[in-house]
Amino acid sequence: MFTRRELSESLTAIRDEHAPGAIVVDASDFQTLPPSQAEELGLVADALDPVTHTDDWLPADCPSQLSAYVGSDFTVGLPGDGGVAWTTQTTPPTVFVKARMDGSPEAFVDFLIAEAMVEAGLGVPEQFIGFFRAQYPVLDDATPLSPADTYQLATALYAAYLGLYTRPVFESWADTAPDLHAAWSDAGERLVPRLSGLSSEVATGQTSFAAAAELACNALKHGCDLPTPFGALDTAAYREGGPEYAVVWAEKTLEELPE
């Protein structure tokens, strides 16, 4: 199921700097690897260290994949991880390039691999539940969203938080890894037209709040100017306040949206 992927010189340098020894593998498409498949990582990694969190961090109506991830079973990945994902439940960390990326521009795939290695080297949780912890039920209670939309919002908010740390790294690649910097910049430019009318789309119900948050929070890591109300996430206050800031922002923002 997992085949080691050859890395370019630029990606090898990124790995050595941010996630030394990280394994990059081509994998079949998945959202969550069940234990029987996740344990196959033992064939490519030196050791496995499954993550377990407390059930108290979960709302009663959360998606089943999240319950499985938090529990004692060894699972990897969650919906929303995208075509390239990473885990630190292996030693060294593993980056997955899923089959859905077949046919995508090589430069963009290389950027996603580089991004995954940078994130894996931050020493942060691999999923949003490890970020929000006991604040996730608070977020669920504070918003009028469905369980699926709350999940999507939490995923987006964590992506934005990570972006506050990774964006300066991506910006620095202009001199050290110009090919990866160009791919990062190009991806951001492609998002700009979609951001321009986002606020009005949410206000008029054309786009759900959770979907808009996913788009805006992804754009944050690319240095795009975020529309109201998402610009409040691109701040030192969010970087310092973390999940508590995110919960307050979400609650106040949703209170102010027209019904």
Q: Residue 109 and residue 183: Cα distance in Å, rounded?
A: 9
Q: Residue 235 and residue 238: Cα distance in Å, rounded?
A: 6
Would you place residue 171 in the very low, low, confident or very high pLDDT band (cuts 50, 70, 90)? very high
Residue pLDDT, tens place only, 42-74: 999 999 999 999 999 999 899 999 999 999 999
Q: Residue 161 and residue 88: Cα distance in Å, rounded?
A: 18
Q: Where are the alpha helices (DSSP H) in the chain?
A: 9-18, 35-38, 64-70, 106-120, 128-132, 135-142, 147-176, 178-195, 198-203, 209-220, 236-256
Instruction: Say whether pLDDT at 258 is over 80.
Output: no
Mean pLDDT score, 90-106: 97
Q: Map tokens 């912890």 to a residue.
A: 133
Q: Which residues lie below 8 Å from residue 107, measured CB to CB, with a gap of 6+?
A: 179, 182, 183, 186
Instruction: Say whether pLDDT at 256 is over 90.
Output: no
58-62, 110-114, 188-192, 228-232: the lowest-pLDDT one: 58-62
Would you place residue 257 in the very low, low, confident or very high pLDDT band (cuts 50, 70, 90)? confident
Residue 35 neighbours by CB distance under 10 Å: 14
Instruction: Say whether pLDDT at 259 is over 90.
Output: no
Q: Is the pTM of this model over 0.85?
A: yes
| pLDDT value at residue 221 | 98
Q: 20 in helix, strand or coil?
A: coil
Instruction: Say whether pLDDT at 41 is over 90.
Output: yes
Domain boundaries, the chain: 1-123, 127-259
Please provide the average confidence, as pLDDT, over all residues in the chain. Answer: 96
Q: Residue 90 and residue 87: Cα distance in Å, rounded?
A: 7
